[in-house]
Amino acid sequence: MSTADSAADRAAGDPVSRSGGPDRYDVEPVNRRDRQQPLYAPKKKIYPKRAEGYFRRLKWLIMAVTLTIYYVTPWLRWDRGEFAPDQAVLIDLMNRRFYFFMIEIWPQEFYYVAGMLVMAGIGLFLVTSSVGRAWCGYACPQTVWVDLFIWVERLVEGDRNKRMRLDQQPWGPGKIAKRVVKHGIWLAIAVATGGAWIFYFADAPTLFTDLFTGEAAGIAYSTVAVLTFTTYTLGGHMREQICTYMCPWPRIQGAMLDENSLTVTYNDWRGEPRSRHQKKSAHEGRVLGDCVDCNACVAVCPMGIDIRDGQQLECITCALCIDACDSVMGKLGRPGGLISYATLNDYNANMALAKDSAGRIDPARVRRADGTLSDAVRHTTWRSIMRPRTLIYFLVWAAIGLFMVWHVSARERLDLNVLHDRNPQFVQLSNGDVRNGYTIKILNMMPEPRTLRLTVEGLPGALMTMPGAGDAPRRAIFLDARPDQLRAQRIFVQADPDQTGAGDHGIRFRIHDVFGSEDASYEASFVAGDGR
């Protein structure tokens, strides 16, 4: 490499190779804990470097799983019979139904949705109090799509140093071609994102065909357009600004963390004092920490922070800095974990161990002669998160979930509602019987037709008729209920006032599935006159 190329690389923030040591990056963090940002600060572009390691592989896995769930779920089929849609997950706004595999939720059962939202909130509290902002770093839709967009950017334009050089180059055919390809793929992903979303609200294969033939409803095209714009803008351009300025969760999480919450931590009790000139300092007899100030942790951070500054609002605990630092420590033959998931309790204990009598950090106090960590150092394990607070969160979360599962499995799929005529409340028939009119509403919440038997209890000698049917009054009436629908039926109930007595009488309407075991009842009243 020529001297001019080397200078250009340094200006672009490329790694500066040093023989016998790791690559070092001339990079400044965009967000600093000790630097107050103005309210309307101009955007500073971040060029995150590709990281390799356990947490990067975990992020790839979670991204693949979550994107697969999002894009594939509307296409899954679930046989509910000939009278119900066969889409596994469907929000049917036209018919006011929500289908989730074997579960069907009606509007009056919206409390199930409320229960799921409560579970989601408690689950988020549980995750945050246990492992910090793990949701933000791994599974948040903003993080997932930003990861995908950065992967496309890296695929088209190259890794960090190449992207920075490309931005500094004048516009030409090569630069224009790369930008067109990158933004074209971004737009394709954004369109697919909006398209996948609307497939949750209608039959996916049918809507897919209608979209390309121009027969879909206007709301479908407008929804795709809005989601395309937001996905392209938030994932491709705003990125870390969403997490820093728009999302409220970084400000809420402070109340969720405690001394035993796992957070990404720079262990300065081991890394300080840092130096880029380790060999020279060792020759001079100075005691140094393990941090060689290579800035690899800053170069890979998608939020543009320096984790060595401590906990910051912008940190999403994606742990890519852990992978970068462990890679450097491996090259130097030193143990990993200089940056790690740790609790505040363990960090404070190790800090007290590393300080000398004057209160200065002396990393020699936590190291053996061969450079490994001493046995006195406390290592954070997953057992640290098992404490009363997280157990209570988990028990509440599990209790709500188990109750909802039990309630869904035990709920009746047949409902009855009765409205008494207000005017007139009763009619005296020619034979002396008193007749009351009712509107019977039968809700069949099964995706199959039913034959139901309607009876009246609590009224001696009561008989029923249906207006216009021409049938003689009888003790029971058989009604057909169509699948997944509400049937409203006018019913007359008549009785001899000499048997019932004057005044109001409590009665019970009951329906029973002739070919099943379900039944439903409703308490009503029968007005037998005033006795005059």
Tokens 């039968």 locate to 442
Say how far apart CA 184 and CA 163 lie, in whole Å: 17
Which one of 209-218, 375-384, 492-501 scores highest in mean pLDDT?
209-218
Structure token digits, residue 463: 């008989």
Q: What are the φ/ψ torsions at residue 334 (nearest 5 degrees)?
A: -115, 155
User: Per residue in 47-99, pLDDT tens?
Assistant: 999 999 999 999 999 999 999 999 999 999 998 878 888 899 999 888 888 99
What band does 35 get if pLDDT is binned at 50, 70 and 90? low
What band does 285 get if pLDDT is binned at 50, 70 and 90? low
Task: Give, rounded to a whole angstrom, the gap between the first and last alpha carbons of the chain.
Answer: 114
Tokens 């450079």 locate to 371
Question: In this predicted structure, which of 23-37, 157-171, 252-266, 291-305 has the lowest mean pLDDT?
Answer: 23-37
Cis amide prior to 424 (ω within 30 degrees): yes
Say how far apart CA 274 and CA 278 lie, in whole Å: 9
Say how far apart CA 418 and CA 186 lie, in whole Å: 56
Residue 152: CB atoms within 10 A of its CB come to: 20
Q: Span 170-197, mean pLDDT?
A: 94
Rounded to 10 degrees, what is the CA torsion of 466, 471, 472, 477?
-50
Say how far apart CA 340 and CA 338 lie, in whole Å: 6
More confident: 285 or 434: 434
* Three-state DSSP state, 131: helix
Q: What is the percentage of the chain residues whose pLDDT exceeds 70?
A: 90
Q: Span 276-302, mean pLDDT?
A: 78
Q: Span 188-200, mean pLDDT?
A: 94
From the DSSP assignment, how many helices (H) and strands (E) are in the chain?
Answer: 18, 16
More confident: 4 or 164: 164
DSSP output for 328-348: HHHHHT--S-SEEEE-HHHHH
Structure token digits, residue 5: 């190329």
* Average confidence score pLDDT of the chain: 86
What pLDDT, on the 0 to 100 scale, is given for residue 26? 67
Q: Cβ(125)–Cβ(41) under 8 Å?
A: no
Residue 110: pLDDT over 80? yes
DSSP output for 466-507: -TTS-PPPBSEEEEEE-TTEEEEEEEEEEE-HHHH-SSEEEE
What band does 109 get if pLDDT is binned at 50, 70 and 90? confident
Q: Cβ(220)–Cβ(196) under 8 Å?
A: no
Say how far apart CA 398 and CA 419 lie, in whole Å: 40
Give, in order, the Cα–Cα distances in Å from 510 to each of 106, 321, 452, 466, 488: 22, 66, 10, 16, 15
What pLDDT, on the 0 to 100 scale, is given for residue 82? 80
Residue 174: pLDDT over 80? yes
pTM of the predicted model, to two decimals? 0.81
User: Per residue in 412-450, pLDDT tens?
Assistant: 888 999 999 888 888 888 888 899 999 999 999 888 899
The full set of domains in the chain, from first to last, is: 1-43+259-380 (no CATH), 44-255 (no CATH), 414-527 (2.60.40.10)
Angle between helices 173-198 and 54-72 (to 10 degrees): 50
Closest CA to 326 of 311, 341, 314, 315: 341
Q: Span 194-219, mean pLDDT?
A: 91
Q: How many CA atoms lie within 13 A of 375 on its CB side?
A: 0
Q: In the 8-state DSSP scheme, what is residue 418?
A: E
What pLDDT, on the 0 to 100 scale, is given for residue 265? 92
